Amino acid sequence: MRVVIAGGHGKIALKLEQQLAANGDTAVGIIRNVEHAADLRELSAEPVVLDLENARVDEVAATLDGADAAVFAAGAGPGSGAPRKDTVDRAAAVLFAEAAERAGVRRFVQISSMGAGRTIPPSVEEVFAVYLRAKAAAEEDLRTRDLDWTILRPGRLTDEPGTGLVHLAESVPRADVPREDVAAVVVELVADAVTAGRTLELTSGNTPIDEALSRL
């Protein structure tokens, strides 16, 4: 299986690439910085240098050509301001989804965020509120597309080792989840379109990943 990942040097993406390679799959990571290419190659992933904030849709579609699945795992990052929440977390996601349609890559997994699509309390810091609105807008766009899409909304991300035990459903209580477990769930999601058309929330829990998916 060939999987193209937007945001290929992100923390979730690096773990995803490593897990896909361990399964014998081909991971293609789209990165902005050429200096990150060596990190992907060390994980047996193929780097593609392309700035999704400035790329044309045909350029992205060419990268997706021949892929079995696409994963949007890009994000502006915690140190970025409100404008890049829109250009990365919304606009780049929309571009990537449009490119997948053009390239005929039907299986599409979008990593979003728990809290997207919900009412944002006034107490939420403004840049984070912009981030949640950007994620929600990207979700809304994806739902209109002719793709076998799944939206995954993880809880607060941590760098703790994965446990393989999760809580995965359309709505779950807020909690943390290791990035390693998010990647492991995405590996399963891209391999099977049974969750197509669904928006799922993910946190750490007590259920093995394969069992949590089978319950869906």
DSSP 83: H
112 neighbors 139 (Cβ within 8 angstroms): yes
> Which of 72, 96, 108, 131 is labelled catalytic?
131
- Work out whether strand 107-111 and strand 207-208 pair parallel, antiparallel, or are unpaired: unpaired
Residue linked to tokens 């990190």:
39
The mean pLDDT of 191-205, rounded to a whole number, is 96
Q: Residue 142 pLDDT more than 90?
A: yes
Residue linked to tokens 């939206």:
151
Q: Note if the pTM is more than 0.85.
A: yes
Closest listed residue to residue 187, CA positions, set 69, 106, 104: 69
Closest listed residue to residue 176, CA positions, set 200, 202, 150, 208: 202
| Domains of the chain listed by start with CATH number | 2-215 (3.40.50.720)
Q: Residue 190 pLDDT more than 90?
A: yes
Q: 61-79: per-residue pLDDT in tens? A: 999 999 999 999 998 777 6
11 neighbors 20 (Cβ within 8 angstroms): no
Confidence bin at 118 (pLDDT 50/70/90)? confident
How confident is the prediction for the chain on average, in pLDDT?
95
Give residue 177's pLDDT.
98
Percent of the chain with pLDDT over 90: 87
Confidence bin at 133 (pLDDT 50/70/90)? very high
Catalytic site includes residue 131 = yes
Percent of the chain with pLDDT over 70: 99
The mean pLDDT of 9-30, rounded to a whole number, is 98
Q: Residue 143 pLDDT more than 80?
A: yes
Buried b (16+ CB within 10 A) or exposed e, 166-180: bbbbeebeeeebbbb
